[in-house]
Structures are given as C-alpha cells and as structure tokens.
C-alpha cells in the first residue's frame, strides 16, 4: 500500500492507483455535473452579490477543480509497482526510524506521498523538509533540516526497511 514519489515518477500500488483513478473519474464526470447544477440552482435565486449558496457552490467548485488537477498530475506521472528500495537506505516506500540528536526521542514513519494517508502509521512526504534531508541517507547517517519556525534540527537514521503494509 506504499506510495512514493521522486521528481518525475510517482510509484503507486495498484490499490492506490485504482482508488485515485476512481476519485478522479467521479470528480471530473458526475462531480462536475453535480456542482454545475448547484451553481445554476443558486443563480436562479436572484442577486448574486448577496447569494451565500451561489458563493459556497463556486468555492466548492474551485476546490474540486484543484483536486481534479492534482489527481491528474499524480496519475499522469504514476507507475504501478514498487519503487526501487535498498534496505538500510532511506527512500520512498521505506519505514524509517530516526532519533533527534541531543534527545532520546525516536520517531517511526513511512516515507511516501501524502496520498497514502490510509497507512496505519504516520506518513511523511519525501518533499517535506525532514523527508528531503534524510532521503538517500544510510543507517547511522545524520541529517539536519530547517523547521518552518527557522530552527535547525539534526536527526540520526536508526532504521530504514521496506514498508510491508498492514
């Protein structure tokens, strides 16, 4: 069930690909028709400046179109199968355990696309600051990344094993 992503390819399991394709087909077909009907019904209510239903439907349409665009990008670059993985090397599709240097806290997570939010463990994107910093690192390697608040954090890779699902 792992999903992983690099700059040009999004690796998806067949299950994830099918789920995303079904969502894309639903949103780009019946979903568009449904939202167009909502907008038309709200437009018939009168003055558009003060028509909350119309504005809500237009907002919903914008969000849906953004999701359709995002799904199309993922599906266009998708390869069904497993990303090449080497045990002991951090990469997409790997279950990774890190330790925060100067602290005893350890964190285990799946390094994969956020689209795989159904995984039973936390999912960190390879494009996130932490994911980008540790991608390609080996067990025992340290990496430093900058948090959104500007603080630099150093982590040590303790384990990197292929994700095997539930």
What does the H/E/C string look like for 43-101?
HCCCCCCCCHHHHHHHHHHHHHHHHHHHHHHHHHCEEECCCCCCCCECCCCEEEEEEEC
- The 3-state DSSP class for residue 13 equals coil
pTM value surpassing 0.75: no
* β-bridge mates for residue 159, sequence order: 97
pLDDT digits (tens, 9 = 90+) for 111-165: 887 666 566 788 888 888 999 999 999 999 999 999 889 999 999 999 998 877 6
pLDDT digits (tens, 9 = 90+) for 20-46: 899 999 999 999 999 999 889 888 887
Average pLDDT for 9-23: 80
Distance CA 159, CA 95 (A): 8
Helix (H) or strand (E) holding 161: strand 152-162
Structural domains in the chain, sorted by start = 4-80 (1.10.287.180), 94-162 (3.10.50.30)
Whether 2 shows a pLDDT value over 50: the answer reads no
Instruction: Specify the length of the chain in residues.
Output: 166
Helix (H) or strand (E) holding 145: strand 142-146
Whether 88 shows a pLDDT value over 60: the answer reads yes
């Amino acid at each position: 069930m792992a999903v992983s992503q690099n700059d040009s390819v999004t690796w998806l399991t067949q299950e994830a690909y099918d789920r995303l394709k079904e969502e894309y087909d639903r949103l780009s077909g019946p979903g568009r028709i449904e939202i167009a009907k909502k907008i038309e019904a709200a437009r018939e209510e009168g003055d558009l400046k003060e028509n909350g239903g119309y504005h809500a439907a237009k907002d919903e349409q914008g969000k849906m179109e953004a999701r359709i665009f995002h799904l199309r990008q993922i599906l266009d670059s998708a390869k069904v199968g497993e990303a090449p993985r080497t045990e002991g090397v951090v990469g997409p599709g790997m279950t990774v355990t890190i330790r925060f240097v100067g602290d005893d806290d350890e964190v285990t997570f799946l390094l994969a696309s956020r689209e795989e939010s159904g995984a039973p463990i936390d999912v960190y994107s390879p494009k996130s600051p932490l994911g980008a910093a540790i991608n390609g690192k080996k067990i025992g390697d340290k990496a430093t990344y900058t948090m959104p608040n500007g603080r630099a954090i150093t982590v040590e890779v303790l384990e990197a094993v292929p994700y095997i699902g539930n």
